[in-house]
Amino acid sequence: MAAMNYVVTVQRPTAVTGLTTGHFTSANDFNLIIAKNTHFEIYIINSEGLKLVKDVCVYGKISAIKCFRLSNMNKDVLFIFTDKCHGMILDCRKTSNDQYEILTKCHGLLKDTGRQAVRQP
């Protein structure tokens, strides 16, 4: 029987691939959200500096990240787009023990599956 190797990286990604700001954790907190390849970090910005509140892993490499506000909400939601054309809209909720929970509002494949265009020379 042939020997098989399983190779993984121990260190989490450190290079920043995207960032956005907004009121993601609550309407009163101003947040800095930093995407680092396969995960993103949520910070609260206050007069004392930055405070890390949540580190979230995503299945896929983050290509784009943006906070925006839906018309029926008083705080922002987060849109994430991966390199495999998957998109998701995430919401943040504070639990009873002062932890933050990330909820998926919607997700799906955003790839154009229509007919491929052919360019004539």
Q: Where are the domains of the chain?
A: 18-109
DSSP structural state of residue 5: -
Mean pLDDT of the region 4-27: 89
Give the pLDDT of residue 31: 97
Strand residue runs (E) in 69-113: 77-82, 86-94, 100-109
Mean pLDDT of the region 17-44: 96
- Residue 46, pLDDT above cutoff 70: yes
Distance between CA atoms of 88 and 35, rounded to whole angstroms?
A: 14
CATH architecture assigned to 18-109: Beta Barrel (2.40)
- 80-101, pLDDT tens digit by residue? 999 999 999 999 999 989 899 9
- Output the average pLDDT for the chain: 91
Whether residue 98 contacts residue 109, with contact meaning beta carbons closer than 8 Å, is answered with no
